[in-house]
Structure formats: structure tokens, C-alpha cells
Structure 1
Amino acid sequence: MKDLKVVIIGAGMGGLTSAIALRQAGYKVEIYEKVNKIRPAGAAISLWSNGVKVLNSLGLSQEIASIGGKMERTVYYSHTGEKLTDFSLQPLIDRVGQKPYPVARTDLQEMLLNTLGANNVHLNAKCIGVEQDSNSVTAAFEDGHKATGDVLIGADGTHSVIRSYVLGKAIERRYVGYVNWNGLVTASDDLAPGNTWAVYVGEHKRASMMPVGGDRYYFFFDVPMPKGSVSSPETYREELSSFFKGWAEPVQKLIQRLDPMKTNRVEIHDIEPLQTLVRDRVALLGDAAHGTAPDLGQGGCQAMEDVLVLTNYLQTTNLSVADALKRYETARKDRVADIITRARKRSDMTHGKAPEVTQQWYEALKHEDGTDIMDAISKTILAGPLN
């Protein structure tokens, strides 16, 4: 279809990428964001090959390579520092046809904004309602402004207003069961090799360092905890030192070197898989459509896949906007439901939901040469639209 006007609600990673893709497809695009200054949610993100390939298709291959981390190996350690497995990611790269690029969210956001043009994002625009008829769809904003187009994309994140409109009701997010601290720290060989994703596991917890651009590591700590625990940056280091007491020396050094005031603490949630991703001229995308635990590293990549598939159907279907969006829904709902379900299952295994299962995983890592891990990652990647 030609000469469409697309209204996008949300200027996060999914919203910005969809704005770039749809503009390149020849559509008029307006993008609205409720905050008065765009700030990334979280410190960094794992972009596996399926996400990277979407950016490549938008002409951003050099840009993403320049800000992505050079992640060439993966190593797992026990919490006391025993090396469990250490392997090259090259067989995975050969199989899927693209290097992964862990990337700082600020760098990714800056890249996308520079490509789109930051002045093209309407800030301080909180969407409070949607109306549509057979010819158009209109978003209403808190300040009284209205934006009318042929298509409306809800890329407004895990607390999506547009999702409530599409479903006809609000839904509660589900607490996955653990708290995640994450941030960025200067790379150093006494923490981890600069080309390696290092993961420490034990006591149903994890500590991880992953290289990103700018000679930094993206780090995270996972601790199973009841929902609703209260904390503040002033106590993060003390808390982490307590939770990870007795863990290997690189973990202790990481805790001492992180900046608590620049560290995020998040209770991890997901949503139940949705059977409905569209309502006539309105489509959900990214976390609004499929908020998932980060345990497969696929949250951002699935938003990128959404963009690719949605753009393709709008370009190639000439029956109607609603028809194109229903085809998008059909193509995506089982894929993203599978990601949510398997990320939840992996989270349970990793974080001691059934302690004997977690212990079996620790033991299996001692005999792992990378084959099973890379097989699982490649199957996840190749099940998508870029296989």
C-alpha cells in the first residue's frame, strides 16, 4: 500500500526502529513520546543476529558494528570461580550468518535518533486514548493534541496504554521471581577477557559481564527475591556484597567498581502471551506486544523482527490496512508467545524455581563444549523471519 500516514506511540528502541523502517518504505511517519527527554530503559541490550540483521537491512550495518561489543567467546564459571565451560561463538556465527552485538542502550538510542532525526520525535506527548473508524485512526494526547493517520503503532512499552485499547482491558504483568541489577563498568582483564561473555552461576543466582562498545562491560546480577522488596542506590553495593559473599574474586571486584548511582535495579516481569496483537488499524509492537523476561536475550530482537514483518505486510498487502495488520498478527503471535514461554522456563531453571533442576543445569555445564548452548541460541534465531 502507498501513501500511508503512520502514527507511532513510543520512542523506545522498537518505536524508533519502526519509524526509520516505515519512513524508508515511503510512508509519512509521526512519532510521539510521553516523556520530555528520551532516556534508555536499562544499561545495555543483547542484539543477536536476528536483531542485527534488521538494522543491517535499514543501512545501519557499519553503525551497529561500531558501537557493538566484540563478543567472540562465552565462558561459564561456578560461583567460586571454577571454569565450567569455555567456547568460541564462531560456529554460531557461521550458522546464523551474523555476529551478535551487545550494545549500550544509550549508544543504540543515539544511533537510531541520529538516523531518524531527533527533531522528528514529539516529546511530552502522553497518549490517553485512541479512536478509529473505517477510514482513519486518531490518537488523543493529554495536552489536547490529536494525531490522525492510516495506521497507529503501539510501541509504548511494558505499561502500554495502546495494549489496553487493543485488548479492551488492562492486563497485569507477571513477576518472574528475581531482581536484576545492571549497569556499565570499564573493561579490565582482571574482570573478564575483553572479547568474552563471562557468566558466574551458583546458589540460584547469576553474575555476568558482556563486552559492549567503548571498552566497557555490561554487567548484571540476578537474585531470586520476593516481589516488593525496597532498596536504594546508597545500599546497592552493600546488598550485592551480601548476596554474593564468597563468590569469585572478579565478582567481588565488579561489585566494588560499579557506580551505584548509575546502576539499575529492576524487578523482572513478563506478560502472558497475547492472542490479539491488533485491532483494525492499530498494532502492538515490542514490549507492548510481548513483554518477556530477558533470559533468552531476545526482547529487543523480537521488537526488531516485529518492525521487519509489519513493514513488509504494509508494503506488500493491497487489500486494506486491517488486512495487512491481521497478517502481521498471524505471523508474529505464535513466535513471540514461544519466546515469552521459553524465557520464563529458562528463568525458572536458572533461578532455582525447582532447585534440583537448577543443580542439574550446573552439573551439565561441566560437560558442555558449547554445542548445546549454541544449538539452542541458533534455533531461537532461525525460527524467526530472517532464517
Structure 2
Amino acid sequence: MNNLKITIIGAGIGGLTAGIALRQAGYEVEIYDRVKELRPTGAGISLWSNGVKVLNRLGLGENMAQIGGLMDRMEYRSVTGELLNDIDLMPLVEEVGQRPYPVARADLQNMLRSAFPGEVKLNSKCIGVEENEKGVTAFFEDGHQTTSDLLIAADGIRSILRKYVLDEDVEPQYAGYVNWNGLVPASEDLAPKNTWVIYVGEHKRASLMPVAGDRFYFFLDVPLPKGTPANPENYQAELKEHFQGWADSVQKLIERIDPFKTARPEIHDLGSLDRLVRGKVALLGDSAHATCPDLGQGGCQAMEDGLVLTQYLMTTNLGVEYALKRYEMERK
């Protein structure tokens, strides 16, 4: 199909990737986001081969290599630092033809935003949609509205538009743990600079992953009741208590974090949805299949969504709704 106007709600990894792919296919694309300033959710993400290959297809492979960290190995260690498993990633890289790239989310989002050749309209909260024979109209909190041939709801795990697609509220489910995450200067006394090191035990995790700029992306997972109070002034004391007796590298990591630049989300995910599409509206990324943050697959799947949706629009002449149904069948 040609000459489509497409509205994307959400300027995260999925929305921006979809916007880039759709613009490269020749479509008119508008991206809106409710935030006043684009800021990444979380400090880092590991992009594995499926996500990086999407960027390669979009001509962004070299850009990704410049901002991604070099990760050649993975190590799993016990609470006390005993080596449990040492994984050489090079055989995997050779088999799939692409190395993974750990990356700071801010760097990734900036790269994607720079690659999208259009305006991202911020401070634009979409509060509803309506379909008719002319297309789909998005309504915004400020009274603005826009009509397009299709709408992509890439508005995250707490999507406002998911209810329209499903005709019911589906709330994210608490996964039972809190995730402290951020960036620290890379140092060999914390972990090898080419290795993702993960300490596991007591239902907790402490992790260090190399990203560009001679930094480590870290996260510390702790099972806690939902709604446990959070105060950055207490983060280090709390983490020292949660990880008391763990390996020296974990203790050094806790000492070096900047609590006021450390995120602390309660982790949620979504169960499988019965559908991802209604008429000319499609869910994409976390609005469709939010996962716990393991192996970066929330972000990688969002990237795949954008490319797959674009391909189906490009390769059918049977209408928008048919193309979106094909997208749904593959991505659900």
C-alpha cells in the first residue's frame, strides 16, 4: 500500500523504530508522546541479535556499534563470588551472525530520535481514539485531534489505548521484585570490561554489564512487597542490608552508585493478550507484550514489531485492516 498517513502514540524504543521503518517505506508519519521531555525508562538495555538485526535493516548498524558496549562473555557467580558458569558468546555470535550490544538507554533513544526524519510532538497525551470510514482519529488532552489511515499504540506497559483494542482493562501484574539500576564508571575491580557478570542467590540478582563510554550498566533485583516506600537517600543503606555478605565486587558497586541517578522501578509484566489489533489500531511493544527485563527482549521485540508491521503494510494491497491482522497473527 502507498500514500498512508500513520499516527504513532509513544516515542519510546518501539514507537521510534516503527516511525523510522515507516518513513523509510515512504509513509507519512506523526509521532506523539505525553511527556514534556524525552527521557529513557531505565539506565541500560542489552540488545541481542534480533534487535540489532532490525537496526541493521534500517541502516543503523554502524550507529549501534558506536554506542554499544563490547560484551564477549557472560559469567554467573554465587553470592560469595564463586564462578557458577562462564559462557563464551562468540560461538553464538558466529551462529546468528550478529553480536549483542549492551547500551545506555539514553544513547539508544538519542540515536533513534536522530534517525527519525520528522518532529516528535511532546506534551501530547492521547486520551482516546475513534474510527470511521475516513480512518482513525486520535484525541488529545489539550483538545487537539488528528486523523490518519491507521494508528499505532506504542504507549507502553500502562497503555491508555490498550482498552480500546481489547474492549476491557488489562492491568500489568507485579512480578514481585524491585530493580535498582543505573550507570557507574567501568573498573576491573568490579568486573571484566568485556563481560556481563551476574551474581545470583537468595532470589536476588546483582549485575554489571559493559556499555560504551567506559561505563557499566548495573542492576540489583530484590523481592519486596508492592508499594514498599522508596527514598534515594536510603538506597545505599537498603542495598547494603539486602546484599549483606555478598561478594566484594557487589559491595564496591553499592558504594559507587549515585543514588540520585539510580532508578528503582517495581517490575511489572503483561500476560498474553487475546488480540493486538482492532480495526485500524494496533498495539506495539510494551503495550502489547511487556515482559520482565531479561535479555532486553522487551525492547528487542518492540523493534521487531515495528519492522514486521511496516513489511505487512508494504506487501499487501488488501487494505490496512488486512495488513494489521497479518501483523497480529505473527506477533501475538
Q: TM-score by structure 2 length? A: 0.98
More strand by share: 2
One-letter amino acid of the counterpart of residue 221, structure 1: L
**Post-superposition offset of 1:229:** 0.6
Residue identity in the other structure for 1:254: L
What is the aligned partner in structure 2 of residue 154 from structure 1?
153
Aligned to 2:195: 196
**Structure-2 separation of matches of 1:167 and 1:75:** 41
Deviations 1:8-38 (A, max 9, x none): 0011111111111000000000000111111
Moved over 4 A (4+): none
Matched residue, 1:26: 26
Cα distance in 2 between the residues matched to 1:81 and 1:127: 48
Post-superposition offset of 1:170: 1.8
- Residues in 2 aligned to 1:289 and 1:95: alpha-carbon distance in whole angstroms: 30
Deviation at 1:132, TM superposition (A): 0.7
CA contact (8 A) 2:47 2:295 kept: no
Aligned positions of 1:69-218 closer than 5 A:
69-117=69-117, 120-218=119-217
Give the Cα–Cα distance (whole angstroms) in 2 for the partners of residues 64 and 142 of structure 1. Answer: 35
Greater share of helix: 1
Question: Which residue does the alignment assign to 1:376?
Answer: none
How far the C-alpha of 1:130 sits from its partner, in A, is: 0.1
1:57 to 2:57 alignment: yes
Instruction: Give, in angstroms, the shift of residue 96 of structure 1.
Output: 1.2
Shift of 1:204: 1.4
Deviations 1:164-219 (A, max 9, x none): 11111221111111111111111000000000000111111110001111111110
Contact 2:46 2:295 in 1 (8 A): no
Alpha-carbon distance in 2 for matches of 1:217, 1:258: 11
Deviation at 1:87, TM superposition (A): 2.6
User: 1:296 & 1:106 partners in 2: Cα distance?
Assistant: 18
Equivalent position of 1:237 in the other structure: 236
Q: Write out per-residue CA displacement over residues 247-272 of structure 1, whole angstroms, 9 at most, x where no aligned residue.
A: 00000000000100010111111111
In the aligned structure 2, how far is the partner of 1:309 from the partner of 1:284?
A: 13
**Alignment partner, residue 338 of structure 1:** none
Counterpart for residue 293 of structure 2? 294
Cα drift, residue 116 of structure 1: 1.2
Residue type of the alignment partner of 1:60: L
SS of equivalent to 1:182: strand
Aligned to 1:41: 41
Shift of 1:134: 2.7
Within 5 A, what are the aligned runs for 1:198-277?
Answer: 198-277=197-276
What corresponds to 2:6 in structure 1?
6
Shift of 1:161: 1.0
CA distance, structure 2, for counterparts of residue 110 and residue 301 of structure 1: 17
Shift of 1:67: 0.3
Structure 2 Cα separation of the partners of residues 303 and 87 of structure 1:
27
Worse overlay, 17-26 or 81-90: 81-90
Q: In structure 1, what is the Cα distance between the partners aligned to 2:164 and 2:295? A: 29
Q: CA separation in 1, counterparts of 2:221 and 2:209?
A: 14
**Once the 2 structures are TM-superposed, how far is the Cα of residue 86 of structure 1 from its aligned partner?**
1.6
Q: Could you tell me whether the CA contact under 8 Å between 2:208 and 2:216 is conserved in 1?
A: yes
The one-letter code matched in structure 2 to 1:111 is M
User: Counterparts of 1:236 and 1:49 in 2: how far apart (Å)?
Assistant: 34
Query: What is the match of residue 337 of structure 1?
Result: none
CA distance in 1, matches of 2:87, 2:174: 33
1:47-84 alpha-carbon deviations (Å, 9 max, x no partner): 00000000110010110000001000111111101111
Structure 1 alignment gaps of length 5 or more:
334-387
Instruction: State the alpha-carbon separation in 1 of the partners of residues 263 and 248 from structure 2.
Output: 22
Q: What's the CA shift for 1:296? A: 4.2
Residue 162 of structure 1: how far off its partner (Å): 1.2
Q: Equivalent residue of 1:219, what SS? A: strand
Distance 1:57 1:23 in 2: 13
SS at match of 1:191: coil
Partner SS for 1:102: strand
- Distance, in Å, in 2 between the alignment partners of 1:296 and 1:63 is 21
C-alpha separation between the residues in 2 aligned to 1:272 and 1:279?
18
Would you say the 8 A contact 2:135–2:149 is kept in 1? yes
Q: C-alpha distance in 1, partners of 2:198/2:49?
A: 20
